[in-house]
Structure 1
């Protein structure tokens, strides 16, 4: 078994008024069924999707190609307590202290906005996919 601790998998408090951004607790992490991504949820009411390529390939980490952070899903209003991928890898469920469970749909054919919203998504990945 190999152990790695990627220091860049963090949730940060973007509202902090100081130069040193405060790190926030991560409450849940789940690996995508194909191993290409991990999802994290935490105190900052966000779900973050990370690439595992920089974890598995040190050269990728040094060049930041592909990017480490792929998406930030921001529609929850309370701490995200759990994230889980479906076995197919298409859906991601997130549960929050805001008493809402969200099902995020990875649609590789869509180029639209997040379903039912005008926002809630920051994307960093070059792939033509949209979370709905």
Structure 2
């Protein structure tokens, strides 16, 4: 389905700066099919993965912070599309720190590692993910590393 002039509005935010991709990112695991279809459509129309809302959050950050379950659907959707996974985000941490250290979501973290997120990038305090997760979780994450 082609929406007239939709490309002009795909990156326009609401009063809080949330773009359509921010809203798709905030859907939970029960809406995985909707998240995939709408996310794919928005990305094909040029949705900006790095767009930030008034809190400085990207769609991926919104997804990590609002997820009610450990799912890798959204991460896989945006993987390998130029997302800067190892940069420090608004709160001085990486997406991987947020996912595995703050939220304890190993499947989502595995998808991030598979997409190129490093376990050895320090946060604003100099702490790396590999420093603070259990050995078992570290082994699990290393299995997702690309060669």
Query: Could you say which TM-score interval applies, normalised by the shorter chain?
Result: under 0.3
Structure number, greater radius of gyration: 2
TM-score between both structures, scaled by the size of structure 1: 0.27
TM-score between both structures, scaled by the size of structure 2: 0.25
Task: Point out the structure with the larger helix share.
Answer: 2
